[in-house]
Amino acid sequence: MTAKTFYLETFGCQMNAHDSEKVVGTLLARGYTQVETPEAAELVLYNTCSIRDKAEQKVFHRLQQFKRAGKGKVFGVLGCVAQQEGEKIFDKAPHVSLVAGSASYTKLPEMLVQLEAGARRVTGLSLDTEETFDTPFTRRDNPHRAYITIIEGCDKSCAYCVVPFTRGPERSRTSASVLAESRQLAELGYTEIQLLGQNVNSYRDPSPAGWDFATLLTRVGEIQGIRRVRFTTSHPRDFGKSIVDAIDENPRLCNHVHLPVQSGSDRMLGAMQRLYTRDQYMRRIEWLKNSPRNISITTDIIVGFPGETEADFLQTLDLLDQVQYDSLFSFKYSSRPNTAALAMGDHIPEEEKTRRLTILQERQRAIQIQRNSETIGAVQEVHVEGRNPSLGQWIGRTSQNRTLNFTCADENGESLIGKYLPVRVTRAGPNSLAGESAANML
C-alpha cells in the first residue's frame, strides 16, 4: 500500500482525546504517517465535539478554511458533530468525504478502504451497536498516564445534553478486557490509569462476573505497578457509597471525585431531568467529606438553563458555599439539537448568562483561594508531568488532581518527568500550588 499522510485535530472531552489515540493507532497500523499540519496531510480528520454550540462551530470554521485550499486532500469529520449532523455535513462542506460517529469506529478500517478506493461519501452513522471500540493499536499521547474507556454511550436523558444522541446507548466492556489492558499498560511502564466513560458509575460487566464499577475500580487499583487510578465522569444518581469505600481502602485510588451537579436548585434539577434532588446530592457529598482520605470534590455547573430565575441561581451559589468545591467547570446553557430542553426555548439573554457565570466564577475563585491556602506547609506526593524551563519549575499533579509546580534543589540535570515525589507546598493561588521538593527530607 502507498504510504499516506494524515493530520488529526481533536476537540472536546477526554473520551474524544482517547478515541483519537485509538483512531491514530488504527491509521498507523494501516501504514499511514501522522503529520503536524493539515497543509502537509493528504487525509485531514477532525474529531469533533457538539456539547455546546461554540464547540460545534469550530469544525465548520476549520473546514471553511480549506474550502478552496484543500484541493487534492481528503477530509473527514469524526465524533459528536459527525453523529449529530450526519450527511448534512456533505451539504455544508462538500469537500468532506467521511462522516463517522464514535459508535462506528470499529468499522474504521473498512471505511478507510473505501476512501482509499476514491469513494467520496463514506459514512459511519449507525448507533445500533453492542460493540465498544477496543483496539490493540492505540497510540497513547502520554508515556506515564493512560486512558481506558470502560463504558461508552449514555442511557440518561438530561434535558440539555446531546451525548445520548451522539454517543448512543450504554455499552460496558468486559472486566476481563479492562483488566488485561490495565496489566499490559503496567507492564509497558504506565503508572497512572484513568478509567473513562460518560457515566462510569453505571458500568456493569457484561460477562457472567457482573462486576459493578466499585469492584472494577478496586481490581484495577490492585494491579502491580499502577500507582494512581482516576475515573471520570460520575453521575450523582448512580454514585454509590461503595465507591467511597473503595477509595478509603486503597491509597492508589486517587482522592478526587468529579461529581457534576449542574444546579443547586431542585426546581432546575427537575427541569434538567437529573434524577436527583439537592438533598440526595448532598448525601453523596457527605460520604465524600466523611472519608479519611480527604477527597477533593469538583463539579460542573450550567447557568441560564431555560426558566432559571435569580432565586434558582442564588441556590446554586449557596450550594458552592455549602460544598466548598476544589474546582469547577461552569458553562452558559447552549440549546442543542434533539434534546428535550430545545422545546423550552433559550430565553435567558446572553448578557444575563454572562453575569451569572461571572458571579459564579468569582465566588468559586474565593473558595479555591481559601481551600488551596489550607494546603500550605503540607507535603503532598506529585506525579511529575512536565517542566517549565522559564520558571525553573517542574509541573506536578497531586492525587487530589491539583497542579503543584515545584523546584528541586538536587535534580542533577536529570529529568523528573514520570516520577512520584514528595513536595512541600509553599504558596497557593486560586488554580495551582507551588512548592519545593521534599525528597531530601525523607
Torsion 205-209-210-214 (CA) sign: negative
User: Which span (44-52, 85-93, 211-219, 268-276) binds ligand SF4, by CB under 6 A?
Assistant: 44-52
Residue 159 contacts residue 131 (beta carbons within 8 Å): no
Give the burial string for 14-31 (b: 16+ CB within 10 Å, else e). ebbebbbbbbbbbbeebe
Q: Is 265 an interacting residue with respect to ligand SF4 (CB under 6 A)?
A: no
Torsion 342-347-351-353 (CA) sign: negative
- What is the DSSP secondary structure assignment for residue 174, as one 8-state letter? P
User: Which span (29-37, 79-87, 290-298, 332-340) binds ligand 5AD, by CB under 6 A?
Assistant: 332-340
Residue 191 contacts residue 418 (beta carbons within 8 Å): yes
Q: How many angstroms separate the CA atoms of 145 and 279, rounded? A: 35
Torsion 371-377-381-384 (CA) sign: positive
Nearer to ligand 5AD, 363 or 387 (CB): 363
Burial of 386: CB neighbours in 10 Å, binned 0-12, 13-18, 19+: middle
Map the footprint of ligand 5AD across residues 37-76, applying CB under 6 A: 51-52
15, interface contact from ligand SF4, ligand 5AD, none, CB < 5-8 Å by kind = ligand SF4
Q: Is 334 an interacting residue with respect to ligand 5AD (CB under 6 A)?
A: yes
CA distances from 132 to 135, 162, 194 (A): 10, 19, 17
Nearer to ligand 5AD, 76 or 236 (CB): 236
Cell 478526587 maps to which residue?
256
Map the footprint of ligand SF4 across residues 72-91, applying CB under 6 A: 79-80
Nearer to ligand 5AD, 76 or 304 (CB): 304
User: Which span (12-20, 111-119, 288-296, 389-397) binds ligand SF4, by CB under 6 A?
Assistant: 12-20
In angstroms, what is the minimal distance from the CB of 121 to ligand SF4? 23
Single out the residue of 155, 157, 216, 215 nearest to residue 181, CA to CA.
216
Map the footprint of ligand 5AD across residues 151-170, applying CB under 6 A: 160-161
Q: Is 400 an interacting residue with respect to ligand 5AD (CB under 6 A)?
A: no
Q: Is 150 an interacting residue with respect to ligand SF4 (CB under 6 A)?
A: no
Q: Is 12 an interacting residue with respect to ligand SF4 (CB under 6 A)?
A: yes
Q: Which of 22, 62, 144, 167 binds ligand SF4 (CB under 6 A)?
A: 167
User: Per the structure block, which three cell numbers stand in for 365?
Assistant: 475563585
Q: Is 166 an interacting residue with respect to ligand SF4 (CB under 6 A)?
A: yes
User: Per the structure block, which three cell numbers stand in for 46?
Assistant: 477532525
Q: Which of 133, 147, 333, 394 binds ligand 5AD (CB under 6 A)?
A: 333
Go through the chain and tell me how many residues it has. 442
Q: Which residues bind ligand 5AD (CB under 6 A)?
A: 51-52, 160-161, 260, 262, 300, 302, 331, 333-334, 336
